Each structure stands twice: as C-alpha cells, then as structure tokens.
C-alpha cells in the first residue's frame, strides 16, 4: 500500500482523472509482470486485465493492488508455468497445443544424504537416455523439495537434462507448503502407517499421493509419481499410455509388492482367516502394493465418491482395526489396506514396470515362499533399487 500512497501523493498536482489513469497503467504493468513471471496456465492477459478493470469500478485502486498481489500468490503457489525448456533454452511457443506429461518426485533432505544425489543422477540420466516424446509433447518434471535440496537440485538437473532430445520443464514445489495442506487430510494415516514419531515416513509429505488430487490445481488431471531410486530401461512415455487402460472406477495404477512384507504385516488376520487371500502371492493372492511407480488419475480421484470416503479418518481406523493392520511404509500401506476390499480402485501395473530388487525378507524368515513374490518374467522397463539395493548396469 506504501507504493500506491506515494504514487497518489507525487501526482497530486495533476487532475484526479490523470491520477486515476496513471494508477491504472501502473496496475496493468504489474499485471504484465505477474503474467509473464508466473505463467499463464489458468488466465491469459486479456482476462486478467478485464478483471482488473471490473475491480477498478467497484473497489478502486486499493482493490486493484490486492488483485495483482492475489494473482501473483496464486500463480506462485500452483507452480505450473507454461513455458517449456528445449535443451536448456526457453521455448515460449508452448501453449494449448502442447501436451504436458507430468511426473513428480520427492527431493528432500538431499543436502544431508549424498546417496540421494547419486540416485537421482542414475534416474534422470537413464530417463533422458530412453525418453522419446512426440513433437507436441513436453515432459514436466515436478520436484517436492526443501530450500537446501533445491539449491543442489537446480544445477544438478540442468547438467543431467542437458542435451535431452525432448521438451522438458522443471518445477520445484515447497515441501513445507505442501505438508501444511496435506496434514489435515492424512493426520490419521500417519498414526497407522508410520514407523513412529520422527521416523522417515511419519512426515505428512510421504502421503502426498493419497491426497494429491485435493492440493494440486484442478487443471492438473494426470500425474506419475516416481521414487528416486529408479533406473529407466525404456521410454518413460510408455507409462502415460497406461492411463488409457484404466477400467471404470480405477483411480490409481500401481504394481504389486514383490516381497512377502504384507504376508508378515497381516499375520494376525491371516491366522484368524486361514482361507483368506490377503497377503498371498500373485497371481491369485493379494500381496499388497509398492508405491515406487504410481499413475495418479487426479481427475478420477476427485470424482470417485468411494475413494474420497475412504480418506475419512474413522473409516481408515475401522478398516485398519478389522485387518489388525499396523504399517510403516506410508502411502503404500494405505493403498494396500484399501486394496484388500476395493480392488476396483486400482489398475495393476506389470512387475516389469516396477521391478523391485530388494530381497530383505528372503533373509528374515520367508525364504521358503520368497520367490513366489519376487519372480518377474519379461523385459524390465524400470528397475527399482528399493532398500538401497544396487541396480544392474545393463
């Protein structure tokens, strides 16, 4: 407000009409700045100017200043600018004709964990190596990050994406801002599906996939969420084609867990229900899910009454109580639990799309059944080096 007050005072010698005109021009200039700095996904310049003029008529100069500020905050929060980057160069030709393929990764605490820098190097380099997009497509990479990690990630990603033969864009989302939005939705889940207070998965952000449809802009309808410890052996674009294979009612695509972890977690329920398929290996059993690679149809998640009802804290608690379930793996525990009763919500990805390599449970009491879960036939599309398992060089 100090800026507007100075403008009006410095122009006091002019007529009220000239003062009004000058202020309007200044407000328009600020709108241009907000438009080009924060992108134009949801409003173009004409609609912004029209809104400002309408606000002028009803609220005066103070209302215009607030409108520009609100627009800037809105664009910054959504973090979905429209300009693409082609081999490191800005490409302002991206518009309505460009199809954005959205992929999201967690990129937090990287400054305290050098291994994460190595993992993202493997992931992005292999992604770039195999990615082939159509001319009208752009890969939009989203990273949920804290400030120290972003400081590391900016130059690292510029280096890793250099020479990419496709259009791409990188957006960083503030982890604290996202966590604040997530907490009211997932608070109950943290108590049921976390290893304990202060544990890695106890942070709300590791339930992002569960409620992403509620905190991302409505214009974002589909997104792939990926772990950092992946190595791509095929075109990432193939993942997005899986969305077209969803059956009615399905909201998420996810691969089965390839260890008997949920055979262990559901031990009491299995003991009380000896004929259950809960925790049994595929193809006939319900081994649970692994969240290393997920396709989230955000539009379908928003529309699904069933899915949103299952987010209710009391329903989650009762379901966990029924199955004697106490997990420690965050979002994949939630998806596994609701998947025991509502398989129709999930499109099952082939094991080759999330070829998990961890063998921890083979050496911890389940060697006799381990291979029933772990076997995976077919050419691997994505390796998943979960529990810090080395990924093959081939």
Q: Residue 362 class from Cβ within 10 Å (0-12 exposed, 13-18 middle, 19+ buried)? A: middle
* Strands 89-91 vs 99-107: parallel, antiparallel or unpaired: unpaired
Residue 244 has pLDDT above 80, yes or no: yes
Radius of gyration of the chain (CA): 24
Of the candidates 73, 44, 68, 74, which has an alpha carbon nearest to the alpha carbon of residue 56? 68
Q: Which residues contact 203 (CB under 8 A, 6 or more apart)?
A: 179
Q: What is the pLDDT of residues 285-317, one digit of tens each?
A: 999 999 999 999 999 999 999 999 999 999 999
Residues 177-229 pLDDT 10s: 999 999 888 888 888 887 765 444 447 888 999 999 999 999 999 999 999 99
pTM of the full predicted structure?
0.77
| Averaged pLDDT, 50-78 | 37
Rounded CA separation 120/97 (Å): 30
Q: Are strands 230-232 and 222-226 parallel, antiparallel or unpaired?
A: unpaired
Pick the CATH number of 99-388 from 2.40.50.100, 3.40.30.10, 3.90.550.10, 2.60.120.10: 3.90.550.10
Compute how many other C-beta atoms are within 10 angstroms of the C-beta atom of residue 168. 22
Contact 141, 106 (CB under 8 A): no
């Amino acid at each position: 407000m100090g800026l507007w007050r100075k403008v009006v005072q410095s122009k006091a010698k002019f007529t009220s009409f000239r003062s009004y005109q000058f202020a309007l021009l200044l407000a328009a200039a600020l709108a241009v700045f907000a438009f080009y700095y924060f992108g134009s996904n949801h409003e173009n310049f004409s609609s912004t100017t029209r809104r400002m003029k309408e606000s002028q008529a009803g609220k005066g100069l103070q209302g215009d200043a607030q409108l520009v500020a609100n627009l800037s905050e809105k664009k910054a929060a959504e973090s979905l600018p429209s300009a693409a980057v082609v081999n490191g160069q800005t490409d302002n030709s991206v518009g309505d004709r460009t199809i954005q393929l959205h992929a999201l990764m967690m990129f937090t605490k990287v400054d305290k964990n050098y291994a994460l820098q190595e993992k993202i190097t493997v992931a992005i380099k292999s992604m770039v190596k195999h990615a082939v997009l159509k001319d009208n497509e752009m890969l939009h990479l989203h990273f949920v990050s804290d400030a120290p990690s972003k400081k590391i990630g900016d130059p690292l990603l510029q280096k890793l994406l250099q020479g990419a033969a496709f259009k791409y864009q990188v957006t960083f989302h503030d982890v604290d801002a996202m966590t604040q939005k997530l907490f009211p939705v997932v608070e109950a889940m943290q108590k049921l599906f976390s290893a304990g207070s202060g544990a890695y998965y106890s942070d709300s952000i590791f339930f992002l996939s569960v409620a992403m449809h509620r905190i991302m802009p409505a214009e974002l309808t589909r997104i792939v969420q990926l772990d950092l410890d992946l190595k791509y052996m095929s075109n990432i674009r193939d993942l997005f084609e899986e969305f077209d294979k969803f059956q009615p009612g399905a909201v998420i695509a996810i691969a089965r867990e390839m260890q008997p972890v949920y055979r262990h977690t559901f031990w009491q329920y299995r003991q009380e229900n000896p004929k259950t398929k809960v925790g049994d290996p595929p193809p006939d059993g319900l081994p649970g899910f692994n969240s290393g690679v997920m396709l989230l149809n955000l539009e379908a998640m928003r529309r699904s009454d069933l899915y949103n009802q299952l987010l209710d804290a009391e329903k989650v608690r009762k379901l966990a109580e029924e199955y004697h379930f106490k997990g420690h793996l965050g979002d994949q525990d939630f998806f596994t639990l609701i998947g025991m009763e509502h398989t129709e919500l999930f499109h099952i990805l082939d094991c080759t799309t999330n070829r998990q390599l961890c063998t921890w449970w083979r050496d911890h009491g389940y060697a006799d059944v381990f291979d029933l879960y772990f076997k995976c036939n077919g050419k691997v599309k994505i390796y998943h080096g979960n529990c810090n398992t080395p990924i093959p060089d081939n």
